[in-house]
Amino acid sequence: MTYDTLIIGAGPAGASAAAILAEYGHRVLILEREKFPRYHIGESLIPFTFGPLERLGLIPKLRQSHFVKKFSVCFVQPDGQATQPFYFFNRYDRETVAQSWQVLRSEFDQMLLDHARDRGVEVREEMSVTDLIQEDGRVVGVQAKDKEGNAHEFRARITLDCTGKESFAASRNAWRERDPYLNKVAVWTYYKGSKREPGIDEGQTTVAFVPDKGWFWHIPQHNDMVSVGVVAEGKYLSRDGVKDPKTMFHREVGENQWIKDHLSTGASTGEYWITSEYSFHSRHCSAPGLLLVGDAFAFLDPVFSSGVMLALKSGVLAAEEIHRGILADDLSPEHFANYGATIRLGIENMRKLVYAFYSPDFSFRDVIKRFPDSADEITDCLSGDVNKDFSQLWTRIREFVPLPDDLPYGLPLKGWSH
Ligand SMILES: Cc1cc2nc3c(=O)[nH]c(=O)nc-3n(C[C@H](O)[C@H](O)[C@H](O)COP(=O)(O)OP(=O)(O)OC[C@H]3O[C@@H](n4cnc5c(N)ncnc54)[C@H](O)[C@@H]3O)c2cc1C
């Protein structure tokens, strides 16, 4: 059987694109390597995740879920001194955008995938895609292996690479470019029974600093669990020859009094994860028969928790563009130029704030002190309202630190060179 769309990967990018395409009546197949529910990092949702979740029709389910509600973010200095929580409802509508969630990704991703199935998407789990099939200069499908090692072939009018930071197509075609300066390492674990803030602050994300622009995330989840991890330069985290993630993690706990105090009443689950050099960009958003979505297109350092919002936003936009393309009988790479430019604009805006954040001696507080009206723009970008003209903000921030130019990536590849 030939599908209209074949999707590799059932994370937020793949499941959201699939659900919308199926809703329009297209035949959609998702191939996913794992058996869901599966573990994944990326648990804090920023306010403007609301839009794509609403488009998918998932807000009622999230409201009924046991996911912890997130109303605010707070920043903590190494000595334990915390800023006032920043409440999203001071700028956004309390009933919609201003309240987000801290999710457990195994459950959240299952919810998204079930939703896609309910819309009519066919899902084959434990099916690893091993190759793209190309005929007459187009991707026409994929080869895959099931868990018994049997080979399969699937065909579709267009294939979506939603493989996350594995970035199947960009890696194989050498389109994957590392971000010049964002080469961090993250080490994390989960705690049960640690301290939480009372009342409305229970679900707040805390960003707690350690030396050398390193930082902890502290993300309260349901069942009394907390996701807690530290991000910094590899050479800082591994100083004095430390290589073991557990030792790295616990040494940094001692570098921030707030984290130390909050974790003191709880216990780690005993599992520690580590990942490195994860920021990258694909040179192309599309090629004949192929479209890149979510992390597979680009992934930024997670300091502002933008990943799931960008994955869902790109999934929804990709589906809308494919639907229009099918109606117009135009699924050429150029048809997706607007998609590529829109997602890149959001990434470039967020990326500038990430660079500013990591610049030595930079503080958003100093910018706001000199330009009080820039506070709203900073808030909008950090909250995920990323597709706006922030040129005035960048001019102002450049008075404090250099910001990177936009990378020349994300254009369609009109034809394969081989
Ligand atoms: C340390 C860290 C902390 C983060 N914190 C946050 C946060 O707080 N908030 C936030 O929003 N984001 C965060 N992120 C980012 C977030 O994890 C990602 O942006 C998000 O998961 C991207 O979704 P996706 O659908 O593009 O990819 P994924 O969620 O990675 O899904 C990709 C899927 O593709 C499947 N797959 C891969 N290869 C194949 C193959 N060959 N065949 C078949 N299937 C395949 C995988 O099994 C997987 O299920 C964080 C990331 C890191 C590294």
The CATH number of the domain where 230 resides is what? 3.30.9.100
pLDDT of residue 132: 98
pLDDT in tens, 300-324: 999 999 999 999 999 999 999 999 9
Q: Ligand 1: distance of its center to the CA of 41 in Å?
A: 7
Same domain, 59 and 113: yes
Helix or strand run (H / E) with residue 39: none
Same domain, 60 and 201: no
Residue 98 forms part of a structural domain? no
Contacts of 310 by beta carbon, 8 Å cutoff, 6+ apart: 294, 298, 300, 343, 346, 347, 350
pLDDT in tens, 365-405: 999 999 999 999 999 999 999 999 999 999 999 999 999 99
Residue 418 has pLDDT above 70, yes or no: no
Q: Work out the percent of the chain whose per-residue pLDDT is above 70.
A: 100
Distance between CA atoms of residues 390 and 167, nearest Å = 29
Which residues pair with residue 139 across a beta bridge?
134
- Which candidate, 166, 112, 387, 127, places its Cα nearest to that of 294? 166
Residue 270 forms part of a structural domain? yes
Same domain, 208 and 270: yes
Same domain, 377 and 329: yes
Residue 285 forms part of a structural domain? yes
Determine whether 27 is exposed, middle or buried from the number of CB atoms within 10 Å of its CB (0-12, 13-18, 19+): middle
The confidence band for 1, taking pLDDT boundaries of 50, 70 and 90, is confident
Same domain, 315 and 413: yes
Q: Work out the percent of the chain whose per-residue pLDDT is above 90.
A: 93
Same domain, 175 and 286: yes
Distance between CA atoms of residues 331 and 364, nearest Å = 43
Residues lining ligand 1, judged by CB closer than 6 Å? 8-14, 31-34, 40-44, 128-129, 162-164, 166, 168, 186, 275, 278, 294-296, 302, 305, 307-309, 311
pLDDT in tens, 237-261: 999 999 999 999 999 999 999 999 9
Q: Ligand 1: distance of its center to the CA of 146 in Å?
A: 21
Same domain, 173 and 190: no
Residue 414 has pLDDT above 70, yes or no: yes
pLDDT of residue 279: 87
Distance between CA atoms of residues 126 and 117, nearest Å = 16
pLDDT of residue 60: 98
Same domain, 55 and 43: yes
Distance between CA atoms of residues 364 and 3, nearest Å = 49
Tell me the best of 40, 103, 386 to mutate to test the pocket of ligand 1, counting ligand atoms within 8 Å of each CB and taking the most. Answer: 40
Residue 278 has pLDDT above 90, yes or no: no
Residue 305 forms part of a structural domain? yes
Residue 272 forms part of a structural domain? yes
| More confident: 360 or 103 | 103
Residue keyed to tokens 């434990």? 126
- Nearest-10 crossing angle of helices 337-358, 374-383: 120
Same domain, 266 and 396: no
Distance between CA atoms of residues 410 and 408, nearest Å = 7
228 close to 191: Cβ distance less than 8 angstroms = yes
Please state the domain count of the chain: 2
Instruction: Give the residue from 276, 299, 316 where a domain finishes.
Output: 276
pLDDT of residue 9: 98
Residue 180 has pLDDT above 80, yes or no: no
For residues 332-358, give the mean pLDDT. 96
Residue nearest to atom 19 of ligand 1 (CA): 307
pLDDT in tens, 75-94: 999 999 998 899 999 999 99
Same domain, 263 and 285: no
Instruction: Give the residue from 260, 276, 292 where a domain finishes.
Output: 276
Determine whether 291 is exposed, middle or buried from the number of CB atoms within 10 Å of its CB (0-12, 13-18, 19+): buried
For residues 18-31, give the mean pLDDT. 98
Helix or strand run (H / E) with residue 221: none
For residues 38-48, give the mean pLDDT. 98
Same domain, 188 and 158: no
**Can you give the residue range of the structural domain that contains 256?**
184-276
pLDDT of residue 21: 98
Instruction: Give the residue from 217, 251, 276 where a domain finishes.
Output: 276
Same domain, 330 and 379: yes
